[in-house]
Amino acid sequence: MRVAVFQRGERGEHKIKGIRKYGGGIELEIFTVPEALPEIIDEPEEYIPGDFEAELVLDFLYHPDLSEFLVEVAKRKGVPVVAPGRSITGAITPPTCCGLGDVEKTGDYGRRFGAPELEVEVRRGRVAEVKVKKGAPCGATWEAAGRVKGMRVEEAVHRFALEVQFVCRAAAGYLAGVSKKAPLHFAGEVHIAALKKALKKRQ
């Protein structure tokens, strides 16, 4: 699968490295715009090329003018856009990268990355193996899975979330006036839920 990644500065690098490491046959084409951008961009086509070819677009631009234009360009091509943590009309906008649910049009990317899915093997009350079937594109799921091996099950459930949060780059603070969990906390909770679900399946 070919995925086009649009990033501002190096804001997508953490995910790019994870996708390259854990994404199997996913091919990436990276488009980077400057970190320093004007507040209002009247000619977004100066930053977003219209001739890219991809089956999916990942948006890490974090600028409304550029993101909205990118969605328009992708729509004309019939290509879906994933823009985590934001509200952009026409894009798939999970709360975090690891909050992406089962969305068929995200193809191989969505089958490999998004809300974590795990298989767990337990021996003598300890975690012997954690197989990651699907995880965060930053790689946090895979890294955390390796770090809880050998732990007692009760300890591993809570430690798993902490290990994910050590790797995760999602915002830790709450948005002013918005009564929802911080993205970093959300990431921890979806990973705890995934591990508990995997443990329950093996009972």
- Tally of domains within the chain: 2
Residues 6+ apart with CB under 8 A from 175: none
Model confidence, pTM: 0.91
Q: Give the tokens for residue 132.
A: 């990651």
- As a whole number of Å, the CA-based R_g of the chain is 18
Q: Do 56 and 124 reside in the same domain of the chain?
A: no
Q: Are 92 and 99 in contact (CB under 8 A)?
A: no
User: To which H or E segment does residue 184 belong?
Assistant: helix 183-201
Residues 75 and 140 in one domain: no
For 156, the domain range is 117-201
CATH code, domain with 37: 3.40.50.2300
Cα–Cα separations (whole angstroms), residue 94 to 32, 58, 110, 132: 22, 12, 12, 20
Q: Please state, in angstroms and rounded to a whole number, the distance separating the CA atoms of residues 5 and 16.
A: 8
Are 83 and 150 part of one and the same domain? no
Q: List the pLDDT tens digit at each of the 203 positions of the chain.
A: 999 999 999 999 999 999 999 999 899 999 999 999 999 999 999 999 999 999 999 999 999 999 999 999 999 999 999 999 999 999 999 999 999 999 999 999 999 999 999 999 999 999 999 999 999 999 999 999 999 999 999 999 989 999 999 998 876 544 433 446 788 899 999 999 999 999 998 76
Structure tokens at 133: 């079937």
